[in-house]
Amino acid sequence: MQKLISYPISIVYYVLFLLWLVIFHPIQWICYNVFGYNAHRWSVAILNGFLVRNTHLLGTTYKIIGREKLPKDIPLIIVANHQSLYDIPAIIWFMRDWHPKFISKKELGKGIPSVSYNLRVGGSALIDRKDPKQALPEIKKVGELVNKNNYSVVIFPEGTRSKTGVPKPFAVNGLKMLYKFAPDAYFAPVSISNSWKMQRYGQFPMGLGNRLTFEIHEPLKISDYSFDEIFEKTEKVIINNIKTK
């Protein structure tokens, strides 16, 4: 029954979703080219605020736990499990004060209004997962950027998102590059729960009435740990706190 009800609601949802992307594309361009970095980042944050609110049409609610744990004016490496594309607008909006950048696949750098433009000019890394010679220098570059400017970078070390909520093993290389080239940063582990249910039927129709939880755990200062130690602690705390209901 929920799936049947979701069809007309999902059509309205997607129309508004695409509308926000199209409207904010020129706004982003103007903000970036005329007013500079801060105007652009706020245009991106506001866009994602609208995208988050748009999911309320689907009965989606959000619970953000532990945001007060994140230090200000310190570079952060936000490490999270990955369940759906709806992880991203929530992180951008609810963690906007930390200037989040992303480690993203390069295919997203073209063809998507607003999204592709932000990834190209906003400081994110666009990587080819099959080509380490291309990917690792891009990750190095964003690590140095966040370390210098006290920004944050978001990485989903599973690589591809889990379609069932069950986390996949974390990959090492991207985190190791950020650990090396953002030495002043903290790892900020985040457990994301239930966002996979937004796409439980695939891209269409959307899942209804989901409660998404983003639980931020105690940040870990890079200089206090070896890479193996911080990797193990980060992966463990994220996976152990993913909720299944």
What's the average model confidence in pLDDT over 61-90? Answer: 96
The answer to whether residue 245 is domain-embedded is no
Pairing between β-strand 125-127 and β-strand 100-105 as defined by DSSP bridges: parallel
Interval 126-153: pLDDT, tens: 998 888 889 899 999 999 999 999 999 9
Q: Which residue has the tokens 């230090």?
A: 71
Domain that holds residue 200: 2-240
CATH code at position 22: 3.40.1130
Percent of the chain with pLDDT over 90: 86
pLDDT attached to residue 160 = 78
φ and ψ at 170, to 5 degrees? -80, 135
The answer to whether residue 103 is domain-embedded is yes
Interval 189-198: pLDDT, tens: 999 999 999 9
Rg (CA), the chain: 17
Give the C-alpha separation, 101 to 108, whole Å. Answer: 14
The answer to whether residue 81 is domain-embedded is yes
Contacts of 104-111 spanning 24+ positions with Cβ under 8 A: 105/129, 106/134
Interval 3-58: pLDDT, tens: 889 999 999 999 999 999 999 999 999 999 999 999 999 999 999 999 999 999 99
Half-sphere exposure of 207 (CA within 13 A, CB side): 18
Give the C-alpha separation, 54 to 49, whole Å. Answer: 8
201 or 159: whose pLDDT is higher? Answer: 201
Q: Count of domains in the chain? A: 1
The answer to whether residue 166 is domain-embedded is yes
Give the C-alpha separation, 147 to 140, whole Å. Answer: 11
